[in-house]
């Protein structure tokens, strides 16, 4: 074979190899586009237009009457986060996601709930007469996070601390007298009290007084560690269910900074009676106080 012919054959084979490589690269490119689709950047102006026109709704509010108990009641709705509010108590209120066999997630332990997609939820709660539950159910939360103009701020994440009717505030309390208790179990020695609720056998008015140490009040103003109070007026603002049994009152929207200077993770609280008749001792005068709080630095 002449040298010219050998060179031509080599060039031909090189061309064929280049064509094969090019086709392989095209195939790989198509496969990558199928497996990993390109992420579309959020257009702030376009998203704002969609929201203002009503074409896209970042969240919905669903309201439920809590008067009748529910067990795994199905609700068909898509989203990737849920935030709950109630004018009652979060005790026993929870959701299962996508299937009834999945675990029940209680709002008292985790609120809001986010981070995964769902297309169906199952609502469970006990009966709370005259109370309601609001669920803010969102979708495309990641898009909201990238669009500051339409981001909806979540409310506070809170914890609770509750007294025991058989252990705390069991004595008789005369008018303007008080009983002191150290409630254990705070997650932080520095907290912000955002709510107080009370159940009581007697229709009385109380003052919850908070102290920074277990020394409570002291005649020496430098040693007294008073740090705040809340008046809980059952006769004016409380209620009974069907006119019987204990009285209830819930107060939210408080903003009271508290610090346990003993570093014991305790809430030092006194209950003062503001009603002339006074509080009765033992079972007839049972009370339970629940504190809603946020840990702070």
The CATH code that applies to domain 159-295 is 2.60.120
The CATH code that applies to domain 59-139 is 2.60.120
SS3 176: coil
| Global pTM value | 0.51
**Parallel, antiparallel, or unpaired for β 132-138 and 266-273?**
unpaired
Cα distance between residue 165 and residue 200, in whole Å? 9
Domain residue spans of the chain = 59-139, 159-295
Contact 90, 107 (CB under 8 A): yes
Q: Please give the chain's pLDDT, 297 residues, in tens.
A: 555 555 455 555 556 555 655 665 555 555 444 444 444 444 556 666 666 776 667 788 899 999 999 999 998 888 888 989 899 899 999 999 988 888 899 988 888 887 778 888 999 999 999 999 999 888 754 444 443 333 334 444 689 999 999 999 999 999 999 999 999 999 899 999 999 999 999 999 999 999 999 999 999 999 999 999 999 999 999 999 999 999 999 998 899 999 999 999 999 999 999 999 999 999 999 999 999 999 887
| Domain 59-139 shares a fold with domain 159-295 | yes
Contact 227, 258 (CB under 8 A): yes
């Amino acid at each position: 074979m002449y040298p010219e012919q050998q060179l031509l054959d080599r060039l031909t084979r090189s061309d064929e190899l280049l064509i094969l490589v090019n086709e392989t690269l095209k195939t790989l490119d198509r496969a990558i586009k199928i497996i990993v689709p390109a992420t579309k950047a959020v257009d702030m102006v376009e998203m704002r237009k969609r929201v203002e026109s009503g074409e896209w709704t970042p969240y919905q509010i669903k309201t439920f009457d809590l008067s009748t108990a529910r067990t795994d009641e199905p609700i068909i709705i898509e989203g990737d986060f849920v935030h709950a509010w109630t004018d009652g108590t979060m005790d026993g209120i929870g959701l299962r996601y996508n299937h009834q066999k999945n675990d029940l997630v209680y709002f008292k332990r985790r609120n809001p709930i986010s981070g995964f997609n769902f297309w169906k939820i199952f609502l469970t709660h006990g009966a709370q007469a005259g109370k309601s539950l609001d669920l803010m159910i969102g979708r495309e939360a990641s898009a909201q996070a990238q669009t500051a103009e339409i981001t909806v701020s979540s409310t506070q994440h809170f914890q609770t601390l509750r007294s025991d009717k058989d252990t705390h505030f069991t004595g008789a309390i005369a008018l303007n007298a008080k009983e002191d208790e150290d409630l254990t179990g705070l997650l932080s020695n520095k907290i912000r009290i955002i709510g107080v609720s009370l159940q009581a056998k007697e229709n009385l008015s109380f003052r919850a007084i908070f102290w920074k140490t277990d020394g409570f009040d002291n005649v020496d103003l430098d040693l007294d560690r008073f740090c705040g109070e809340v008046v809980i007026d059952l006769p004016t603002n409380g209620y009974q269910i069907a006119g019987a049994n204990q009285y209830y009152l819930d107060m939210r929207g408080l903003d009271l900074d508290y610090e346990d200077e003993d570093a014991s993770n305790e809430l030092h609280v006194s209950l003062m009676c503001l009603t002339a008749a006074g509080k009765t001792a033992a079972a007839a005068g049972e009370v339970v106080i629940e504190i809603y709080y946020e840990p702070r630095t």
